Structure 1
């Protein structure tokens, strides 16, 4: 079987994170063309929420949960991220990629902010049929908090293990993880302590770059490495070539 790949599209790549739910359609169409040109039958896409979801989640304090009678934020946030997901799927399909949207709210369960269950049997079947599932950061039901936000990065970590993926790539708006203005070529659990990794300067309830590194280091301990690179190098990553970014590996 060929490589099973998870590609994460950062929210800052496909939206304008400085404006409420503004989709960057030209960037999205360019990404779709790159994916279509290198399409594999074993590709799963996860995308962040960017400006479609983070402001809503922040406004309704979903990072702290939800209580009976205070559930409007669940609907509003899910509506925003679902609209972005539809835009991503439409762009991919227009480029010839057999994309199909999947909403975590419908199939995921969290406890204390962490995924504890996510139905993946249908994803296995989609991949076997040559479809490209497109999943997104979303609000899900939380056994302890009522509801919570599950980031695209947490989804990548969970699904890469559940689906036994061999390659994981994060396409971002920066050339990799930066430390002192320079790209860090490799990060391991040992070397990460010496780095100064900041968070997103925009409204982000899921931890920014530091949150990504935390999730990917957890994934690396499970034996699955990941790559962080600038979206302009997407074609290189999909082709298995050097992308000039950061590799996150285990010990």
Structure 2
């Protein structure tokens, strides 16, 4: 069994496993490459969370799911959830083909939100899966919301919630950039104090969850609880998993 002290949360950004500016294009080659990276590390059983990219964001925007539920957009729950589940299947299938026992966990089935923020998520099954050497694969999803009827919960918010409720050793976000960039250079460290001097914009492509700004906002919430996070280019996943310098950004309390 894997020790919980070794638990790692790895987020695969939607922009690195799909053509985020396109229409549902899954990057199977990249997903297979990432699955092989994880499979090579026989003693690491991460919790994997992936974004929706072009498999979910366009559907959510078209049906205004991020604005809540009304009489006209109920079908958007199924349509958006189906899109993100298809991507989740692709990630799980690639991991299993590489020899990694894994299973998809769908937030729509397990979570409840209130005004866009998660308020309940039974994490016990995730801890048990990891303890038995099985990799849980979660994803950004449609979630029922007590106030809005429905909302979108990003992969970044899932990370924030999970890391607050499960003792994770390390948290890493693999993206299509080397970290948070300012004037072409990577900002190596961000704290709640230093972020005030940074210009962080939202994603330029279709994104109903806030892009890089959404990531930093969630990770700063974790930093206030003393939990460090890492943002790095997807090509450095192996470095992160092995505990080496990934050349990216660390978000920390100080």
Distance in structure 1 (CA, Å) of the matches to 2:35 and 2:127: 22
User: Residue 97 of structure 1 corresponds to which residue in structure 2?
Assistant: 100
Ranges in structure 2 where 5+ consecutive residues have no aligned partner: none
Q: Give the Å deviation of 1:197.
A: 1.3
| Structure 1 unaligned spans of 5+ | none
Alignment match of 2:115 (pick from 112, 117, 138): 112
Contact 1:10 1:172 in 2 (8 A): yes
When the two chains are superposed, the root-mean-square deviation of aligned CA atoms in Å is 1.0
Is residue 65 of structure 1 aligned with residue 68 of structure 2?
yes
Per-residue CA deviation, residues 72-123 of structure 1 (Å, 9 max, x unaligned), is 1000000000000000100111111111100000000000000000111111
Distance 2:235 2:82 in 1: 29
> SS of 2:119's equivalent?
strand
Aligned to 1:214: 217
Partner secondary structure for residue 24 of structure 2: coil
Could you tell me which residue of structure 2 aligns to residue 195 of structure 1?
A: 198
Are 1:41 and 1:131, in contact at CA under 8 Å, matched by a contact in 2? no
Contact 1:60 1:73 in 2 (8 A): yes
Tell me the distance in 2 between the aligned counterparts of 1:78 and 1:39. Answer: 32
Partner of 1:146 in structure 2? 149
Match of 1:18 among 9, 21, 45: 21
Q: Which residue of the partner structure matches residue 59 of structure 2?
A: 56
2:31 is the alignment partner of 1:37 = no
CA contact (8 A) 1:41 1:132 kept: no
Aligned-partner Cα distance in 1 for 2:177–2:215: 13
Residue matched to 1:160: 163
Cα distance per residue 1:153-187 (max 9 Å; x no partner):
00000001111112100000101110111100000
Contact kept, 8 Å, 1:41 with 1:127, in 2: the verdict is no
Deviation per CA, 1:209-242: give whole Å up to 9, x if none.
Answer: 0000000000111111000000101100000000
Q: In 1, distance between residues paired with 2:111 and 2:44?
A: 24
CA contact (8 A) 2:64 2:73 kept: no
Q: What is the number of residues matched between the two proteins?
A: 251
1:50 partner SS? coil
Task: Give the whole-Å Cα distance in 2 for the aligned partners of 1:131 and 1:120.
Answer: 14
SS in 1 for 2:232: strand
- The answer on 1:129 being equivalent to 2:96 is no
- 3-state SS of the aligned residue for 1:63? helix
In the alignment, what sits opposite 1:233? 236
- C-alpha separation in 2, matches of 1:142 and 1:230: 33
Query: How many angstroms does 1:42 deviate by?
Result: 3.8
Q: 1:243 aligns with which of 217, 232, 246?
A: 246
Match for residue 5 of structure 1?
8
